[in-house]
Structure 1
Amino acid sequence: MSVILGSTQRSDLAESGTWPIQRRRTLDWLVNETRNERFIDNILVAMSQRLILDGVPIARASMHFQTNHPQWRGARILWNAGMEEAAITTFAYGTETTPQFLNSPLNEVFSGADEVRQSFEGMAEGKAKYGLYEELRRDGITDYVAWPMKFTLDKLHIVSFATDRPGGFSDEHISLLKDLLPALTIVTEIRLKNIMARTLLETYVGPHASEQILAGATTRGSGATVSAAIMICDLRDFTALSDLWPRDDVIELLNGYFDALSEPIEKHGGEILKFMGDGLLAIFPLAKPDACANLLLAIQEGQAAMELLNAENREKSRPMLGYGVGVNVGDVMYGNIGSRKRLDFTVIGPAVNVASRLETLTKELKRPVLLSKAFVDMLGSDVSLDSLGSYPLRGLGAPVDVFALRSGTADRR
């Protein structure tokens, strides 16, 4: 059957070959040749560049995802013609209620539209329906289209394309892009679910443990011996606090306390293995030569952050938060422990027990941070410490020589 095409369409086809070949070529690439590419942004860039070579005049492409991330509600991948890499932007929770989002073509798609399309040719300045449209018009874009990408169980994400071609996208351009949409959706869903799995694991077990689990360390007892500096921290009088204050206030206080101590740990290369109610367990692997110094620096920055937090609590007539930290160094068993069906990726061993007992000892000695002699000897730096003598620790053999930071503040108990 013959098809009558306009002069512009004939020109496009003459330059790029037949559309069936283009469809098959790009489709084959999406399905068969992207299997070794982990990142969605690279796929979007490569696909857009391929389509341009095939005569589809893409000037802009974007993908918009809803994410399962503790900080971000969503993310956008944006590519403009000429860019070697796409730009990735994250959006905080609450973005979906802002006027910028509500007055956008994305909201139309998330609200159920199967397609949103807008031509900008002949559009007067200031007459665009949305702020995004006005930006695109000013940038010389002539046509914009957005479609939903429907993942498993109707999880909804968005892809959009724009062109600066006079006359906008032709019907054949739109037809080709829509034909690629199912394959693009499948390829994208696989990568996004991999990202989500990694994100959820990092959120709940930490980056190093998540790498181990994703690499196959999922059987009970699997693990390794790791030399590490160990830090155990506990909040003082949390039981009384949770009894006396409303739930939401307690959660806010607890989150503020964890933020103050956790951010310096992660900043200086430590890994938080778990939050234990009002406590946390973190390690600094000795594979890094400055592990002990970094742990101490994290503690000092955490103390400063706790001072600021308590100043805020004082202004809000909330209770001051005290804490105890026990620090030791040694070999730990790092791996999977638990029942047949429910595992915990953690560390155990005598070195962990010493750190735990030192944290408990902070209550008796009224010093917020206690360090073992083993840690101090390995620290080997000029740090002002108080030697507090030797103390027997419950369940352990010989007494342990205990040190405290000279600049440490008194434990608020």
Structure 2
Amino acid sequence: MTNLEDWIIDQGLHGSDMSSLLSGFAERLDAEGIPLVRAYIALPTVNPTIRVYTHVWTRSAGTVVEGVSHERNSEAFEVSPFAYMMRTEQENCHWHVHGPDGDRFSIFEDIRRLGGTDYLARLISFGNTSAPDLRGFGASFSSSRPEGLRPEEVARIDRLLPLLGLAAYRMTLFDLTVAMLDTYVGLSAGRRVLRGEIRRGSGTTLTAALLFADLRGFTALADRSGMDLIGRLDQHLEAMAKPVEEQCGEVLKFMGDGVLAAFPISEHRSFEEACAAAIRAAQMALERNEAVNRQYETPLSLDIALHCGDVFYGNIGAAGRLDFTVIGPAVNEASRMEALCSALDCSVILSDRVASVSPVPVRSLGSHRLRGIAAERELFTFTAG
């Protein structure tokens, strides 16, 4: 094998990102005497917000990576070379961007501006039935030679593309695993799973400020027919979750129309700082929830409880279906505090621990008995709330 083939294999085993893979591949082809001006790889994904990642290498800019959302540029794709190849069931095409084919696709104008003369396009199939949306990838290469890529250069690229595809597939699956874990179980929990903390019952005890939020009136609204409840619910949940992220907390779980979030206390963030972050997140969530309500005739109030304590953070569930979550008395108390918001006619309830370090004025709501807890608890709310 040549040095380039060895390098691709090494990247497939040890490489970390597609940007470096494409840059190294294009630069090594250029060093072999193939005068590339542009190389391109498009990789589909099952990311809930990104449809495809495009990677474009040029001599001047190196590799630029862009995530294309599900909503964006669908029409642009339909008039692209790759869409044409898929419609006509072709895996290999080679066009010259000057002459009769020069206006066939809009991308050819970009190639000409770079000093390119041709457009070699390939579709590489992964053939994975368990992940049908990861069908494969599209690749293109353009040279600066007046007559374009020579037959032996095209053959060279075609021999290397299966190796490049294997390396890209490994990187794509790893990135997909990380993205899915981050999206569905959370950043911290996802990293714990990747570190091998996957046994049932394994986990750790941590101290954190907790935010428990729930929409008031959503169940009654859900009983009505003909409403786009999922779309609206997503807006409300975004209003709750985004402030948590902005305040360096983590959403641990979406529970129907509610959210459980944590702001861990550590050597890097004190008890006071964690509680203050939770309070800021609660204030921001209330404001953003009201902004969502202004779009609809029927408003949905947001109830929030803020508490602090020790929780168990780890794997619970059945042998074949685990959930990475938090449990413990502090979680139960936060849930039962939130349930009192309606009866106490306030949007936010704070435990005495959180209230004691609140950066904003609070007032006492008196002592109340929480279901399942013997001793009464003094509860607080914001002075203006």
Amino acid at match of 2:18: I
Q: CA deviation at 1:123?
A: 6.6
Q: CA deviation at 1:33?
A: 4.8
- In the other structure, the counterpart of 1:8 is none
What are the equivalent positions in structure 2 for 1:332-351 lying under 5 Å apart? Answer: 332-351=311-330
- The answer to whether the aligner puts 1:329 opposite 2:308 as a matched pair is yes
Q: CA deviation at 1:375?
A: 1.5
Q: Is the 8 A contact 1:121 1:167 kept in 2?
A: no
- The answer to whether the aligner puts 1:140 opposite 2:123 as a matched pair is no
In the alignment, structure 2 segments of 5+ residues that lack a partner are none
Q: Is the 8 A contact 2:11 2:21 kept in 1?
A: no
- In the other structure, the counterpart of 1:71 is 49
Amino acid at match of 1:172: E
What are the equivalent positions in structure 2 for 1:376-387 lying under 5 Å apart? Answer: 376-377=355-356, 379-381=357-359, 383-387=360-364
What are the equivalent positions in structure 2 for 1:154-173 lying under 5 Å apart? Answer: 155-173=135-153
Q: CA deviation at 1:89?
A: 1.0
Q: Is the 8 A contact 1:95 1:101 kept in 2?
A: no
Amino acid at match of 1:110: M
Q: Percent identity?
A: 34
What are the equivalent positions in structure 2 for 1:12-411 lying under 5 Å apart? Answer: 24-84=2-62, 86-95=63-72, 97-98=74-75, 100-111=76-87, 112-122=89-99, 127-153=102-128, 155-246=135-226, 249-287=228-266, 288-289=269-270, 290-314=273-297, 319-377=298-356, 379-381=357-359, 383-408=360-385
- Partner SS, residue 312 of structure 1: coil
Distance (Å, rounded) in 2 between the aligned partners of 1:146 and 1:406? 65
Q: Is the 8 A contact 2:185 2:252 kept in 1?
A: yes
Q: How big is each residue's C-alpha offset from its partner over 1:100-137, in whole Å with a ceiling of 9 and x where there is no partner?
A: 2111112123333212322124579xx51111111211
Q: Which moved more, 1:29-38 or 1:230-239?
A: 29-38
Q: Is the 8 A contact 1:110 1:156 kept in 2?
A: no
Max Rg structure? 1
Q: Which moved more, 1:348-357 or 1:31-40?
A: 31-40
Amino acid at match of 2:148: G
Q: Is the 8 A contact 2:286 2:302 kept in 1?
A: no
Q: Is the 8 A contact 1:62 1:79 kept in 2?
A: yes
Q: Is the 8 A contact 1:59 1:162 kept in 2?
A: yes
Runs of 4+ that moved beyond 4 A: none
Return the TM-score normalized by structure 2: 0.92
Q: Is the 8 A contact 2:36 2:141 kept in 1?
A: yes
Distance (Å, rounded) in 1 between the aligned partners of 2:47 and 2:300? 28
Q: CA deviation at 1:299?
A: 1.3
Q: Is the 8 A contact 1:328 1:351 kept in 2?
A: yes
Question: Matched residue pairs, number?
Answer: 375
Structure 1 pair 33–197 and aligned structure 2 pair: CA distance change class (3 A): closer
Question: For the aligned residues, what is the CA RMSD?
Answer: 1.8
Structure 1 pair 406–109 and aligned structure 2 pair: CA distance change class (3 A): farther
Amino acid at match of 1:65: L
Q: Is the 8 A contact 2:38 2:59 kept in 1?
A: yes
In the alignment, structure 1 segments of 5+ residues that lack a partner are 1-22, 409-413
- In the other structure, the counterpart of 1:19 is none
Distance (Å, rounded) in 1 between the aligned partners of 2:358 and 2:280? 14
Q: How big is each residue's C-alpha offset from its partner over 1:368-401, in whole Å with a ceiling of 9 and x where there is no partner?
A: 1111111123x353x1212212211111132222
Distance (Å, rounded) in 2 between the aligned partners of 1:298 and 1:109? 49
Q: CA deviation at 1:259?
A: 1.3
Q: CA deviation at 1:340?
A: 1.4
Q: Which moved more, 1:162-171 or 1:218-227?
A: 162-171
Q: CA deviation at 1:182?
A: 0.8
Q: Is the 8 A contact 2:37 2:114 kept in 1?
A: no
Q: CA deviation at 1:96?
A: 6.1
Q: How big is each residue's C-alpha offset from its partner over 1:163-216, in whole Å with a ceiling of 9 and x where there is no partner?
A: 222321111111111000111111111111111111111111111100001110
Return the TM-score normalized by structure 1: 0.86
Q: How big is each residue's C-alpha offset from its partner over 1:18-64, in whole Å with a ceiling of 9 and x where there is no partner?
A: xxxxx622112111354221211111111111221121212111111
Q: How big is each residue's C-alpha offset from its partner over 1:292-344, in whole Å with a ceiling of 9 and x where there is no partner?
A: 22221111111111111111113xxxx11112111111111100011111111
Q: Is the 8 A contact 1:218 1:336 kept in 2?
A: yes
- Partner SS, residue 13 of structure 2: coil
Q: Which moved more, 1:66-75 or 1:27-36?
A: 27-36
- Partner SS, residue 403 of structure 1: strand
